[in-house]
Chain A
Amino acid sequence: MKIKQRRDGSSKANKNPWVRRALKAGWRAGSPERTDGGEPESHFYASRLQRSFVEWMNVSMLPRPEYSAMKRMAGAFAQGYAQGAACPVHGIPLLLKGSAAAVVCASSEEDNLHAMLNELEKLPLQEVIVVLNGCRDNSYAITRSHLLVTVVYYPDLLGHDVGRSIGARMTGVDTILFCDGDMVIPAEELAPFIYAVDGGCDVALNDLNGFLPLFVHQDEVTHCKSFLNMALGRRDLGANSLTAVPHALSGRLIRGMDVHHLTVPPKAQALAVLEGYRVEAVHAVDVFAGNRRRDGNTGRGNAVADMIIGDHAEALEEVLKRRGQSGSAGRLSRKDIALKRNAI
């Protein structure tokens, strides 16, 4: 018996009874496909794999598991499904309660856009909104070739992050994932953000703290991000920011907040914290390595850095304005400090 288990390549994972059960359930869900020849072409979110996975998880696993556990279940279930259906599956089933969509901002990114959209199509998303602006290449045709995609096309450049506001207001789903078209991020790395928001988080940030160098080598933008979080009383967030992608927002937040603020991501983050939304760093995706380097976004004091500093100024202005209104500023007396420190 033992020997038989060892022979299988995935025997290690199979030690977990839940993984074994997921594999079996997947097989059961997939086997009808072998006889009825599969379902008609449909989007992944409506596919039998996704539906049967959610169904099975809801019946057999309560409460909702951590992402890592869910991911193993999903992997095993999909594997079983593929064996049962005797055909490969394209997609990662996710345990979702609500609906999800993605907003991709892009401008002349034909090299990466196709691959990026392929990754998004592996996720159970109801729609993908691609905001194209100022494209001088074939991006539009590439985008149109993807069935799930709604294209919003602007012939001129909109400027940084304006597309996020435009995309966000076009969708009414419960979870919105935000990505850039210039970076291909595997679907497995995007799923945790969707899963976190679906589970009750409002702002699911990319946890970049682990990739940061020592403070002395950090750039000014990182300093601004950390300072904003500190001023918001969220030092635990470190330098994590809505400025960075990928991240996901809840529909609750999008509907409750003026979508215009998403154009200035740090301001949206400040407002989210101030208004009591759940802001968390949920998963780490290294975007430093993949980010396209162009003129204007490299080196200290570059134009993009200056803009992001301005965004943080705008966010802090909002924080200060609200503090002024609530009268919580300047309660500490300099004299008390002196007395505490220097009295004998």
Chain B
Amino acid sequence: MHKPSGRKRQPQRKRKRSSTVSLLGRRSCEHPVVSVIIPAMNEQKTIGHVIKGAWQVHEACEVIVVANGCTDRTADIAETMGAKVLRFEQALGHDVGRAVGAEAASGHVLLFIDADMRMDYRHLRHFVDAVLSGTDIALNRYRGPVHKRQAHPVVLAKHTLNSMLSRSDLLGASLTAVPHAMNRRAVEVIGSEHLATPPLALAMAVHSGLKVAAVHEVPVGRMNRRRGKTSGQDLLQQVVIEDHLKALDWYLSHTDPRGGHSDLGRDRDRVGR
């Protein structure tokens, strides 16, 4: 329903307060096992719910909210709920919050989620458990909408990158999608700054022999905040495609022009000059 401008929507105070109060005691512990990293930009509607879920992922965990470019109460809500809040007045840029959050994390396992995605914490535990039991990078097995002839460009890019990395078993799983978790070693091998370009990070992880697995499926497509087509969706698509090409470029320059795939014994010289 359309609301006349100037009239603020009244939040459901009663429910919100009750949930906050019960978690007020929760503070990031000193030696966390799990760091939950939540980049957020103007997500006051959902951040509370997301942090609440994050606290339940592990007994010893910290929640890091990278509040960037916020003009609403996102950071305050996060602080009230006991999260460690990194405040940036300027917007950091798509996925850059992940890199910044990873830099600040002190846990053994880093779990990345989005601030706009309400999700049962039990989903999240699968990723943490996988990393705790030896996987270096635990990805969401969700493939995106694939029941069409021609899939979305981003879905196509993810599948193709995995094939190029000789990991077609991962299908459409990607670091681009949340939730995903990785251990500290993976962050160090990849370099936290590269987490801002998720496909590149994935290419680096696979290339350096990290154990990457798609461990659990969370159909995040339906959970994403609905945004109008005008609000940068097409631009985002371009950035994600661009990221995949960058990843491919890196991978091919670090392997060979064929990405390590066989030539099946082609006798190319026979063509002659």
Contacts and interface: CB of A to CB of B under 8 A. Distances in A.
A166 interface: yes
Nearest to A231: B245
A215 B260 CA distance: 25
Contacts of A334: 92-96, 196, 239
A216 B143 contact: yes
Nearest to A301: B168
A51 interface: no
B211 interface: no
A63 interface: no
A238 B148 CA distance: 13
Given A159-B264, A166-B271, A224 B160 contact: yes
A326 to B, nearest CB: 14
Interface stretch (A10-18, A24-32, A305-313): A305-313
A160 B69 contact: no
B110 interface: no
| Residue in B72, B93, B270 whose Cβ sees the most chain A Cβ within 10 Å | B270
Interface in B216-269: 227, 231-233, 235-236, 238-239, 241-242, 245-246, 248-249, 252, 257-268
B259 A313 contact: yes
Contacts of B249: 317, 320, 324
A340 interface: yes
Given A313-B259, A332-B238, A303 B69 contact: no
Contact of B268 (A223, A263, A323, A324): A263
A343 B42 contact: yes
A309 B163 contact: yes
B42 A158 contact: no
A214 B149 contact: yes
Given A227-B157, A317-B257, A334-B93, A341 B236 contact: yes
B263 A310 contact: yes
Contacts of B261: 306-307, 309-310, 313
A285 interface: no
Q: Is the interface of A mostly helix, strand, loop or mixed?
A: helix
Nearest to B43: A342
Contacts of A235: 150, 153
Given A303-B264, A310-B258, A320-B248, 16 more contacts: A160-B264, A162-B267, A223-B156, A223-B160, A263-B266, A309-B261, A316-B164, A329-B245, A336-B235, A337-B235, A338-B41, A339-B69, A341-B227, A342-B41, A342-B91, A343-B71
B240 to A, nearest CB: 9
A286 interface: no
A317 B96 CA distance: 26
Interface string A139-172: 0000000000000001011111110011001000
B155 interface: yes
A342 B42 contact: yes
B164 A309 contact: yes
B42 A307 contact: no
Contacts of A224: 160, 163-164
Nearest to A323: B245
A166 B270 contact: yes
Nearest to A213: B149
Contacts of A162: 266-268, 270-271
A33 B192 CA distance: 82
A219 to B, nearest CB: 9
B92 A320 contact: no
Contacts of B147: 214-216
Contacts of A341: 94, 227, 231-233, 236
Interface string A163-196: 0011001000000000000000000000000000
A24 to B, nearest CB: 45
Contacts of B163: 220, 223-224, 309
B41 A215 contact: no
Q: Is the interface of B mostly helix, strand, loop or mixed?
A: loop
Contacts of B95: 334
Interface in A189-232: 209, 212, 214-216, 220, 223-224, 226-227, 230-231
A335 B266 contact: no
B168 A304 contact: no
A311 B163 CA distance: 12
A155 B96 CA distance: 57
B108 to A, nearest CB: 28
Given A227-B156, A332-B242, A338-B92, A216 B270 contact: no
B29 interface: no
A306 to B, nearest CB: 5
B168 A220 contact: yes
B203 to A, nearest CB: 12
Contact of B91 (A212, A220, A314, A339): A339
Interface in B151-198: 151, 153, 155-157, 159-160, 163-164, 166, 168, 196
A338 B153 contact: no
| Residue in A209, A220, A223 whose Cβ sees the most chain B Cβ within 10 Å | A223
B272 to A, nearest CB: 8
Contacts of B93: 333-335, 337-338
28 contacts: A157-B265, A158-B267, A160-B264, A161-B266, A166-B271, A169-B271, A214-B146, A215-B155, A216-B147, A220-B168, A231-B245, A300-B168, A307-B261, A309-B259, A313-B164, A316-B245, A320-B249, A323-B245, A329-B245, A329-B246, A332-B235, A332-B238, A334-B96, A338-B94, A340-B235, A342-B91, A343-B42, A344-B42
